[in-house]
Chain A
Amino acid sequence: MATRVLEVRKNVLNKNDELARELRKDFESAGVLVLNLVSSPGTGKTMLLEKTLAALGERGFRVAALVGDLETDNDATRLARSGAPARQINTDGRCHLEANMVRAHLEGWSLDNLDFLFIENVGNLVCPASYDLGEAVRVALLSVTEGEDKPLKYPTMFNSADAAVITKMDLAGACEYDREAALRNLREIRPAIEILEVSAKRGIGMDNWFDFLQRKKYGVTQ
């Protein structure tokens, strides 16, 4: 029996990557800025989005959100209270969102009528790092209650992020949050990463976050 070696040279995530590239093209031509929000569970992605959707809506922007969870549509219900269209993606146990899930849940929405689309990924600092969703900006969230060394523990995720948002800043004192260490660790893993510090609940730092979003929207570099 003859054996031989066959060159394949194919990315395992080829299908997801190709689909993500198509989505990215669609998003760009429609002029919608798409952000993929990643973090561990309980960092405050949904809280940040609730406030963001409402505030951007008040400023006249057309916004929408997709939110991924293993089970329940609780988060979509919370987000829909802002008045913005919000859809839940149930991953049925899968630990991350994939490009095909995003595409399936965009059906019936006209991208041309949107300025911002937020995709809240499944709370997980490992798996979502590998899956491109066609987003323009990947934002990794880190709360002051989690420990400043999170970026060092999950370098793959933080390295893949374009920006980092440190959340729950209102609890910084109670948690003895070491700001210098948090910023140093983020920059160690992702040099020159843009870092924003907010408390969505108390409204701290939110104007900087909105400015960041508008800068990204209009392609303004800092």
Chain B
Amino acid sequence: MHELSIVQGIIETVSESAEAASAKKIIAVYLRVGALAGVVKDALLFSYDLATQETMLEGSKLIVEELPVFIFCQVCGKDVELPTVQSFRCPICNSPSAAIKQGKELEIRSIEIEV
């Protein structure tokens, strides 16, 4: 489980951004997590509450947006959403594809702050 290190990365980046904006308080952190990011949402939320104690982020809410995987299907000529990560085949035509267009994100999208 490496969610705690991930949360430490979040704290670092968010604190920098919040300080640069002269925030008094951080209310919420919006995170985008792809299905291939290798991160478990529940473990992330659990680590978040622990690790943010006595930091600028204490008491803030972590809001996780989970993103499905999209691959580019050469046969269909478009990006298609995968229903699971158990098979990297186009759900329409069944062709395999290793061209991942979405799903590896682990991105702090925005923060809600009090100024």
Task: Among A15, A159, A192, point to the contact of B36 (Cβ < 8 A).
Answer: A159
* A6 engages B113 (CB within 8 Å): yes
Q: Mark B53-92, 1 if CB is under 8 A from A, else 0.
A: 0000000000000000000000000000000011111000
- Counted as pairs of residues, one from A and one from B, with CB atoms less than 8 Å apart, the total is 111
The verdict on A222 contacting chain B, using a C-beta distance below 8 Å, is no
Would you call A12 and B9 a contact (CB within 8 A)? yes
Q: Are the C-beta atoms of B107 and A10 separated by less than 8 Å?
A: yes
Inter-chain contact B96/A192, CB cutoff 8 Å: yes
Q: Do the beta carbons of A156 and B38 come within 8 Å of each other?
A: yes
| Complex contacts, B10 vs chain A, CB 8 Å | 12
Of B13, B14, B18, B115, the residue contacting A2 (CB under 8 A) is B115
Question: Given contacts A13-B9, A95-B1, is CB(A156)–CB(B89) below 8 Å?
Answer: no
Q: What A residues does B6 contact at CB under 8 A? A: 12-13, 130
A104 at the interface (CB under 8 A from B): no
Contact yes or no, A12 B38, CB < 8 A: no
The 8 A CB mask of A1-16 against B (1 = contact, 0 = none) is 1111111111111110
Residue of B nearest to A188 (CB): B87
Given the interface contacts A7-B110, A127-B1, A191-B96, does A12 sit within 8 Å of B13 by beta carbon? yes
A91 to B39, CA, bound (A): 20
| B108: chain A residues within 8 A (beta carbon) | 8-12
Interface size class of B (residues with CB under 8 A): 35 or more
How many Å lie between the Cα of A15 and that of B114 in the bound state? Answer: 27
Query: Contact: B109 with A8, CB < 8 Å?
Result: yes
**B110 x A130 contact (CB < 8 A):** no
A187 contacts chain B at the CB level, 8 A cutoff: yes
Asked if A15 contacts B2 (CB within 8 A), the reply is no
Counting chain A residues whose Cβ lies within 8 A of the other chain, the interface size class is 35 or more
The reply to whether A188 and B88 contact each other, CB–CB distance below 8 Å, is yes
Given A8-B13, A12-B107, A95-B1, check contact A188 B89 (CB 8 Å).
yes
Say if the beta carbon of A25 comes within 8 Å of chain B.
no
Considering only residues 22-72 of chain B, those with a C-beta below 8 Å from chain A are 23-24, 27, 31, 36-39
* Interface: A56 (CB within 8 A): no
Q: Report B's interface with A, CB cutoff 8 A.
A: 1-2, 5-6, 9-10, 13-14, 17-18, 21, 23-24, 27, 31, 36-39, 85-89, 96-98, 100, 105-115
Q: Can you name 22 A-B residue pairings with CB atoms under 8 Å?
A: A1-B24, A1-B114, A3-B27, A4-B113, A4-B115, A7-B110, A8-B14, A8-B111, A9-B109, A9-B110, A11-B108, A12-B106, A14-B9, A94-B5, A95-B1, A126-B1, A126-B2, A126-B38, A130-B6, A155-B85, A188-B87, A191-B98
- Tell me the A residues contacting B by CB distance below 8 Å: 1-15, 94-96, 126-127, 129-130, 152, 155-157, 159-160, 187-193
With A5-B112, A14-B13 given, name 5 new contacts (CB 8 A). A6-B110, A7-B109, A9-B110, A12-B6, A130-B37
